Chain A
Amino acid sequence: MRHKVQAVVIGMVLLVSTASATLGLALLAAGNAPFQHAFAAQDGADLKVIVNPARASSAQLAATRGLHGVTAAAGPFAEATVQTQFQGQPFGEFTLAGRPAPGGPVDNLVLIAGHWPTGPDQVVLNGPAGGGGPVVGNTLTVTGLPHPVTLTVVGFANSITNSADGWVAPSEITALRAPGTGPSAELLYRFTSAATDAQVRADLAEVTGALPPGTVMQYDSWLAVASQNTSNGAIMEPFVIAFALIGLAMAVLIVANVVSGAVAAGYYRIGVLKSIGLTPAQVVVAYLSRVGWPALAGCVLGVVAGNVLAIPVLHQSAGAYGVGSQSVPWWASVIAPAGMLALTVLAAFGPALRAGRLSATQAIAAGRAPNAGRGYAVHRLAARLRLPRPVGLGLAAPFARPARTLVTLAAIAFGATAVIFAFGLRASLDRAAASQSLSATVPVQIQQDGPGGGPNQVPTAEQDAAVTAALNNYPATAHQTTVYENRVKVPGVPGNANAWAFGGDSSWLGYGIIAGRWYDAPGQVDVNTAFLNDSGLAVGDTATIDTGTARVTVHIVGEVFHPSSDPTVYGSTQTLPGLGTTANMLQWDVGLQPGTSTAGYVRAVNSALGGNSPWAATTQKDGGKFYSIAIGLIGLLSLMVAVAAGLGVLNTVLMTTRDRVHDLGVFKALGMRPGQLLTMVVCWIVVPAVVAGAIAAPAAMVLNTATVNAMAGTAHTGVPAFFTQVFPPSRLALLSLAALVLAVAGALAPASWAARARPAAALRTE
């Protein structure tokens, strides 16, 4: 029975460890150049060319497939740009392409969910589902058409180069084109040479030259998409890698602890075997095989479990990286079990070799009890403390096995670090999400998503005035600020910089300040990190900005959180002359009086604006898909690490109860009640857990700060200090209890088994 339990524990620990290792390796692989791998797997388009099919015949378009350097081509796929509403709210502009199937020689789409359109009024959207947006079965309303069309979302797919925002049946496109809109279609190409901008431009020239003048209207290079996607995906890497490494390290620790403990626990039996004539070599082989079989079974089951667990995790990871799908690489399914098995054999080899060298009597003696003398002083001290006796006995017990206690402490510390880190990172990302979208201070924005809008249509001054009037009309409007955007030139900044000009008071907007402060006077501006990096300037410096209508010298008073590689400057319309025009109008940022229903306010404003306004009020949501996916992934990873840590504790307590089974019988014979025994056994793990918590709390803080800074670095931004100040002392103290919770959860089962054991049976056990 004891050997069965031991085999089951070894198998279970190897199962969880191998599963964690498989998942960890899969995540490391997933984070390694995900865009490049997905681009190759999907036969991504090097070049997307938007053509006017009225200017060229089908034969001319088809002939471009045979051009020099073209290795594959797809299309033309007719397309239409539409304005949409979701659940009665404006949902933005979508470019929909008519494609008969997701596959093909170029842009081989990955269908993530649902199915491909099989009839009219069905759409497959590009990207992962959820994140507050539609899911399969929801409907989108296309506005701006003579007769509104309702499209049912039947699936989600991923185009690695975002060749379209969604796909419908080819026959649907004509009905989706707004009146007065000309036809357009997309052609997708792969070339022999498209690794640089120059090569892509040469490829484009080849295609353009083969078609009648005016046919090519627009193009997208894969390099631009790669740059953007790599940047987005890279944000995920620091925390994914942090979790993967924690999981791997803990798996190694736990396996070493379990296996060496299992062999050491078998010393008594080894002694008996030697006394009946087994040679040292036979003992080593016997014990390696004794540990090896359950370990092998655990590894095989673990790699299966790891692959199964990886499905949802990699699904989220793929969503975050924007690459459609990811899978466990074959080598992870080989290395993880092989590595764990090798580790098991290595961990078993040392104690087995030692057992082989011991004489029979030494082995029997070593197998009966821990080394005499260890922990005695602590027991003496505990007996003097005014604690319930079972508590004192339990607290002192770990000192009898210091090596085992240290390994267990390390496993708990890893698990607790992962849990505290997960809480911290979640809080940091929440703050980043709120700060990026300003959702806490700007719950409502008025943007050009209204039913009266259309592609390339500029709202009139009257339509803008109607918005201001509507906002002024509602007493629930606490603040409103017009936001204008245009490109400006800044000496020292390559290309153009982005400029946001605010009409009126903007101090309430609540941008996250990394350094300095928000501007409060004409002539002052704030900038993002990319601006400072590109210009080489610092907060406190002056810069010259050419807005197109004026050249002004401004004083940089602050660095704001705006994760983008695009250098951006923020100032008032007075500071940035020429930006505050109708043509540059981007949006209104609206703050509400406390207690106002945001949804009700949005409905009321949209109702007041009517059905012909290009403007519509929208509710601000935190962060978007990246943050929701990242937070989901953090939860899953920390749960896995915590489970592995709990299992490590379970193993330690189980081994200790086996070591001390006779003593437990004595305790019971002396009148220790099951509840007292349960308390004592749980207390065995309390001291290591408290120490582990004390180590884990600062470790998680450091890890969180480093990870957030690394993530910010890949997103081309600094971070405000408050993003990482998510551990006030009270919260940290509470979170460090995670170590205790993990330890107690892991100890409860073996403690209960020990408490339920019959004293006579325990006393009979050697």
Chain B
Amino acid sequence: MIDPSAPGDVIRLDGVTKTYQADGAPALADVSMGVAAGEVVAVMGPSGSGKSTLLNLIAGLDRPSAGTVTVTGRRIDTLGESALARFRARHIGIIFQFFNLLDDLTVEDNVLLPAQLAGASRRQARARADELLARMGIEEYRNSYPARMSGGQRQRVAIARALVNNPAVLLADEPTGALDTATGQEIGRLLRQLNEGGQTLVLVTHDPELAERYAARIVRIVDGRLASTPAGVYR
């Protein structure tokens, strides 16, 4: 099998297998792939194919049963929980399908949270949050609570939160899955703008249009295995 990862990749998976139950079928089986710095990769596949598992392994939210996961040149599958959390805070931003904002915190406090957990200074964190809120066009909602916002606004908050620590890698799990078409396209455009600024992005999606429109490369997963990887098209 040809190893599709290359030495300069910001994300590298080598022979990664993830099994949840000892006697069950693997959620991911012997997956090897790489993502170059500044690249947008869309991961597609049917429900239960292993897309989210792949994303969790790259984010260090879960550990592979076999194989290695390297992000920004560091093997993360061998890190302890504390080191992994610290790594995640500094190098990885995650955007979830259902936003996963904390309802009892204001928009601003949601955005500030990863910076505060990473130990950033109060002033720097606030300046960065201000910048991101402005960039996402949600400045005026800084003191609002997420539950009172629309889906699109909430996803913008989630994107701002994911970017607050300037992560090397942005992971998005069905970022438009809970949004209407128009709002989904807005979010898609926003992600493309981020990529144009050099942000590496891994996008898990069901939506072929989103993948084809915004991703440089599409990785297909079926039953936990990589299928053919057609050449991506920049739109």
Contact = CB atoms under 8 A, between A and B. Distances in A.
Interface stretch (A121-129, A375-383, A421-429): A375-383
Interface stretch (B3-11, B65-73, B106-114, B205-213): B106-114
A669 B110 CA distance: 13
A599 interface: no
A383 B105 contact: yes
Contacts of A513: none
B87 to A, nearest CB: 8
B135 interface: no
Contacts of A760: 56, 61-62
B127 interface: no
A267 B100 CA distance: 21
A759 B88 CA distance: 11
A763 B61 contact: yes
B103 interface: yes
Contacts of A673: 81-82, 85-86, 117
Given A663-B102, A670-B89, A389 B61 contact: no
A758 B102 contact: no
Contacts of A372: 103, 147
Nearest to A392: B116
A675 interface: yes
Contacts of A390: 117
A755 to B, nearest CB: 8
Nearest to B102: A663
A389 B106 contact: no
Contact of B85 (A369, A383, A672, A763): A672
B161 A369 contact: no
A669 B88 CA distance: 7
Interface in A75-100: none
A670 B86 CA distance: 9
Contacts of A763: 61, 96, 100
B90 interface: yes
Nearest to A377: B104
A676 interface: yes
Contacts of A675: 82
A676 B82 CA distance: 9
A716 interface: no
B221 to A, nearest CB: 17
B59 interface: yes
B113 A389 contact: yes
A380 B103 CA distance: 12
A390 B89 CA distance: 14
Nearest to A675: B82
A763 B56 CA distance: 10
Contact of A666 (B81, B89, B100): B100
B155 to A, nearest CB: 15
Contacts of B90: 671
B94 interface: yes
Interface string A737-766: 000000000000000000010111101000
Contacts of A676: 85, 117
Nearest to A369: B103
A671 B104 contact: no
Nearest to B63: A758
A662 B113 CA distance: 16
A668 B82 CA distance: 10
A668 B63 CA distance: 14
B161 to A, nearest CB: 7
A400 interface: yes
B109 A674 contact: no
B148 to A, nearest CB: 9
Contact of A670 (B114, B122, B145): B114
Interface size class, chain B = 20 to 34
Interface in A629-678: 662-663, 666-676
B81 A669 contact: no
A134 B165 CA distance: 72
Nearest to A756: B81
B109 A379 contact: yes
B83 to A, nearest CB: 9
B88 A758 contact: no
Contacts of A666: 100, 102
A525 B118 CA distance: 76
Nearest to A670: B114
Contact of A380 (B56, B81, B106): B106
A668 B106 CA distance: 19
Contacts of B63: 758
Contacts of B113: 389, 670
Given A669-B61, A671-B88, A376 B82 contact: no
A669 B59 contact: yes
Interface string B113-139: 110111000100000000000000000
Contacts of B114: 670-671
A669 B117 CA distance: 11
B40 to A, nearest CB: 21
Contacts of A369: 103
Contacts of B105: 379, 383
Nearest to B92: A671
A677 to B, nearest CB: 9
Interface in A376-401: 376, 379-380, 383, 386, 389-390, 396, 400
Nearest to A673: B85
A759 B82 contact: no
Contacts of B122: 386
B91 to A, nearest CB: 9
A670 B161 CA distance: 9
Give the residue among B103, B112, B118, B165 with the most A Cβ atoms within 10 A: B103
B82 A389 contact: no
B171 to A, nearest CB: 10
A627 B106 CA distance: 59
A376 B61 contact: no
Contacts of A383: 105-106, 109, 112
A375 B112 CA distance: 19
B85 A668 contact: yes
Contacts of B106: 380, 383
B103 to A, nearest CB: 6
B102 A376 contact: no
Contacts of A376: 104, 145
A669 B167 CA distance: 13
A764 to B, nearest CB: 9
B185 to A, nearest CB: 26
A674 B81 contact: yes
Given A396-B104, A671-B86, A671-B89, 10 more contacts: A379-B104, A669-B100, A670-B113, A671-B118, A673-B82, A673-B85, A673-B86, A674-B81, A760-B61, A761-B62
9 contacts: A379-B104, A383-B106, A389-B116, A662-B100, A669-B61, A669-B94, A673-B82, A673-B85, A761-B62
Q: Which 6 A-B pairs have the closest CB atoms?
A: A671-B89, A760-B62, A389-B116, A673-B85, A760-B61, A759-B61
Interface of A: 369, 372, 375-376, 379-380, 383, 386, 389-390, 396, 400, 662-663, 666-676, 756, 758-761, 763
Interface of B: 56, 59, 61-63, 81-82, 85-86, 88-90, 94, 96, 100, 102-106, 109, 112-114, 116-118, 122, 145, 147, 161, 165
